[in-house]
Structure 1
């Protein structure tokens, strides 16, 4: 199936990590020119190099999403040398595991800027050109915790949920301009983040991390953690011409983990 992404300009955040890297690779396989943005430039550069070796077009950017003052500079550089951004994938890192109670206002503010304000500000910067072209994709990766809050991820549950309301509202505002806005929820996808969370839970409960992982996979109807490639392929489809009638949606990629309808 031709997804209609050849030559499209894609900007992917958190692209040095497992999910972001898989998303960038999927878009590049479909012919998009992919800009891999991450605070960890060496990690983004490794993923960009792997994409290039596979025949794709990719470049890494050292970009700290929490730095709101740098947004215009980075986007201007992309627009000047490559043209406007057609596909924006908002994918932020998560806060450390915490209960909802007892976190200081300063910590809440820090992660609100990194995980919410940054997403809104970057989207606002690229949207005018999308609306002018009457084509664009805004895809925001959050967490299954926005549907079924995850224990000891209080800050993540709360902050990511705010992006769901924002994206749904945005979809209604820009749909008539040919721009779609969707949320994608990863379940237990086999990345370093999931390994870290399993290890943290094992420490809290004085258990072996392998036991925690086995217990976790047993709760997933498909009986395994997801492959990052499966997540990336889902995002690539939502970014495509074929997904032009999907907007304002929340797409679960969770192996059936989330118990609610």
Structure 2
């Protein structure tokens, strides 16, 4: 299937990491020009080189999402190098494992700024251009914790859930302008983040990381962790021309992990 996004400009936040990197790669294979933003410039550059070596066009950006003052400068760099943003993939790093109780105000504010407010502000920066051109895709990657809160991920469960209400509201505001706005929900995808969470669980419960991973896999009907590329393909479809009538939705790519309807 031709997704119809050849020549479109995609900005992928967290594009140097496992999920973000896979999204960048899959979109590039579909012909999109990719701006890869990451706090780790070397990771962004490695992904950009991978895209270029496969014949794509890519720009690597060092981008600290907690610093809102960087937004105008970085988006302008994307626009000057690749053109106005057609596809925005909001993908932010996760906070450390934590309970909900006992977190200081400064902790909540810090992660709210990097995980939620940054997404809103970057979207505010690129959405007017999408609306004026009559085409755009805004896709926000969250976590299965927004549907079924994950034990000991209190910060993530709470803050990422805010993005669902924001995305649904935004979708109704911009749908008539040809811009869609959707949320994607990963289950347990085989990334460094999931490996870190397995190790953290193992330490808390006095188990080995292998035991913690095996228990996690046992809860997934497919009996395995998802691959980053499988999740990225879901994001890519939502970015496509064919997905033009899908907006305001929450789309799971979780191997059946989340048990609720």
- Report the TM-score, using the length of structure 1 for normalisation: 0.99
1:252 paired residue number = 252
Q: Deviations over 1:4-62 (max 9, x none)?
A: 01000000000111000000001000000000000001011111111211222212111
2:193 paired residue number = 193
Q: Deviations over 1:182-238 (max 9, x none)?
A: 000010000000000000000000101101111111110000000000011110110
Alignment partner of 2:258: what SS?
Answer: coil
Q: Which moved more, 1:105-114 or 1:75-84?
A: 75-84
2:42 paired residue number = 42
Correspondence 1:1-261 to 2 at 5 A: 1-261=1-261
Alpha-carbon distance between aligned partners in 2 of 1:213 and 1:65, rounded to the nearest angstrom: 30
Could you tell me how far 1:82 is from its partner in structure 2?
2.1
Alpha-carbon distance between aligned partners in 2 of 1:81 and 1:207, rounded to the nearest angstrom: 49
Q: Is the 8 A contact 2:25 2:51 kept in 1?
A: yes
Q: Is the 8 A contact 2:59 2:78 kept in 1?
A: no
Q: Deviations over 1:51-87 (max 9, x none)?
A: 2112222121111111101101111122223221000
Alignment partner of 1:241: what SS?
Answer: coil
What RMSD, in angstroms, separates the aligned Cα atoms of the two structures?
A: 0.6
Count of residue correspondences = 261
Alpha-carbon distance between aligned partners in 1 of 2:99 and 2:142, rounded to the nearest angstrom: 18
Alignment partner of 1:237: what SS?
Answer: helix
Alignment partner of 2:4: what SS?
Answer: coil
Show structure 1 runs of 5+ residues with no match: none
Q: Deviations over 1:135-175 (max 9, x none)?
A: 00000000000000000000000000000000000000000
Alpha-carbon distance between aligned partners in 2 of 1:201 and 1:166, rounded to the nearest angstrom: 31
Alignment partner of 2:64: what SS?
Answer: coil
Q: Is the 8 A contact 2:221 2:257 kept in 1?
A: yes
Runs of 4+ in structure 1 off by over 4 angstroms are none
